[in-house]
Chain A
Amino acid sequence: MPYHYLEHLSWADTAFEAWAATPESLLIESSRACLQVMVPDLSSVRPRERREIAFHSDSSDLRSALDALLFELLEKQIFFKDAEQLLLLCTQASLKPMESGHELRATLEGEAIDPNRHEFATDVKAVTLHRFHVEGPGASPHKSREENWKATVVLDV
């Protein structure tokens, strides 16, 4: 599984590390890690609703941009959970350099919360910036290609 939960970063809350070959895949895997804190069985979340989202980062550096955009993506996922009672996963992401930074366009898919079918673990209140970090290629020379990109995220629960 391209993410795991960390014990040492926070006792009161939940933290994970996700890794992937590309920035877009990192966004998708991080989204899965975030939702799985709330719904351990992700297969119980059916793709019945869709939300298209777009964010912009001023940073021309891909790693810095991804750092900011990952935060926005996870925050939006948590927003939909409360504002529209939707459990959503990022299923598609496109990250493009622009004249002034980077743009993320992503698709979130899922369905309305159904206590009869979804078994819940812990509610996520917010994405924190505590140890929040995205690493890009070259950060660790011994990594495999599947670990090109890595994110560390602490969620307030």
Chain B
Amino acid sequence: MKQACKPLSETLWEIPTTFKEGMKVPARIIATRELLEAMDETVVEQITNVATLPGIVKAAYCMPDGHSGYGFPIGGVAAMDARTGVISPGGIGFDINCGMRLALTRLQVEEVQPHLEKLVDRLFERVPSGVGSSGFVDLSEDEFREVAEQGSRWALKNGYAWPEDLELTEDLGASPGANADAVSASAIQRGRKHIGTLGSGNHYLEIQVLKPENIYDPAMAEKLGLFPGQVVVMFHCGSRGFGHQIATDYLKLFLAVSEKKYGIQLRDRELAAAPFQSPEGQAYYGAMKCAVNMSFANRQVILHRVREVFSEVFGRDARDLGLQMVYDVAHNTAKLEEYSESARGPKRQLLVHRKGATRAFGPGMPELPARYRETGQPVIIGGSMETGSYLLTGTSSGSESFFSTAHGSGRTMSRHQAKRLFHGRELADKMRRAGTYVRTASFAGLAEEAGAAYKDIDEVIETTRRAGISRPVAKFTPIGNIKG
């Protein structure tokens, strides 16, 4: 199937509409030849299925870290006309607003190393992770509904945020359109105790260092508040049981109506969809936004705990330690955004699905916080726990893919294969010898996340640079890690 991919450039491949009956637009894969060859064939099957969805505009995109998912491939981006197009839960994923947050410190790595184990141990206690973990924030169901509708604003009102944190969160930490009435009682029950928890699998909280040789754009790095030897904190998590249940609830509903009520031919049950303007489409959108907001609030509460722990360990106020956010950005979401087909053409509203793909708005875009209008939006892309993660910025040329870029590096092997090849405790010891102190709720889970189980993040990042969809600023090396 990959033979159907025709090169438009060294980093852009196109599968024409003639490849599959029903394709309304071409499918485009952003990748080098090497990354394309390493992708599994199911990616082509899935992205060309996405191209058949009603109302899709321009092309169905797959990012350089793409791999097979459910319905959409991971790394899938699809923009639908907001008036005539569909919304599909498969284009957002079960973990709604799985995303990344990056915070800086004023600390040099030499100041942190003597305290590293204490920091990681305390963070491991204060930020619950793993199967069935519950957060310290005890909420009634009504209070949780407030979180779902208010997101980070709820966190600010309750003392878990600094005012500037909201400005530095996508959608100001509270996506408009959230409707708690569209959320099932099961989802509320399932998510109520998850505020301030990390989850499991590939979710993590890392203390990282910026080595001087890993600053790729010194001028931009300085503008973003970075300096050589700096310690930063990065974490990756989502909407936990709340989002997972909302996704399941609406997948079932959409399956019941996609074909029977709306005549949408389903190539894949996980591509179930409904017209965005339909009652079902609007209900899912309202519920999905609740999960988006809960996830922002979750990451905000986690940052609060990070500030508490650093403050306790260093005996200084968190502001004095410089624990300021850089940005918080989702990589599983659907957003209403405006685009025009040409530079002077009229703008129209599109619903942009990004599943395992990160929004990367370029310089000058009015939606950005004032401090980032010149630089472009910060983009945080996570690598494996052994290779490190990146900070990038959005670019003007990102308009090709609706200002979307990669979100991670993608896997090279299954979780079971990784558990056969790697042993969690040995891996933790190896990482310690290499300079990273790990605490985990599951050594089996840790083995699944071994560095060799993931593709080369450097190659993915370089591809996004060559494709012009994001611009690397710096790479961070983990020195402390908490995993569920």
Contacts and interface: CB of A to CB of B under 8 A. Distances in A.
Contacts of A156: 70, 94-95, 244
Interface in B218-253: 240-241, 244-245, 247-248, 251
B444 interface: yes
A149 B419 CA distance: 29
Interface in A65-120: 75, 78-79, 81-83, 85, 87, 113, 115, 118-120
A2 to B, nearest CB: 18
Contact of B414 (A10, A78, A83, A126): A10
Contacts of A87: 132
Given A79-B186, A85-B132, A157-B200, A125 B442 contact: no
Nearest to B243: A125
B204 to A, nearest CB: 13
Interface in B151-197: 186, 189-194
A5 B269 contact: no
A128 B94 contact: yes
A38 B131 contact: yes
B326 to A, nearest CB: 27
B451 interface: no
B131 A120 contact: yes
A34 interface: no
A13 B415 contact: yes
Contacts of A121: 131, 442, 444-445
A85 B241 CA distance: 11
Contact of A129 (B40, B270, B414): B270
Most buried by A among B199, B201, B412, B417: B201
Given A121-B442, A128-B270, A113 B94 contact: no
Contact of B201 (A78, A123, A128): A123
A132 interface: yes
A122 B443 CA distance: 10
A14 interface: yes
A79 to B, nearest CB: 6
A81 B134 CA distance: 11
Contact of B415 (A39, A83, A120, A157): A157
A137 interface: no
A83 B190 contact: yes
Given A125-B95, A128-B94, A128-B270, A12 B411 contact: yes
A7 interface: yes
Contact of A82 (B201, B241, B414, B416): B241
A14 B95 CA distance: 15
Most buried by A among B67, B95, B130: B130
Contact of A120 (B191, B251, B414, B445): B445
Contacts of A13: 415
Contact of A122 (B70, B71, B251, B415): B415
Contacts of A118: 131
A18 B313 CA distance: 50
A126 B444 contact: no
Given A123-B130, A156-B95, 17 more contacts: A10-B68, A11-B412, A12-B67, A14-B416, A40-B444, A82-B132, A119-B442, A121-B442, A122-B442, A122-B445, A122-B448, A123-B199, A123-B201, A125-B94, A125-B241, A126-B248, A129-B269
5 contacts: A11-B412, A83-B190, A83-B241, A121-B444, A126-B244
The 5 closest A-B pairs by CB, nearest first: A123-B200, A82-B241, A113-B132, A121-B444, A83-B189
Interface of A: 5, 7-8, 10-14, 38-40, 75, 78-79, 81-83, 85, 87, 113, 115, 118-123, 125-130, 132, 154, 156-157
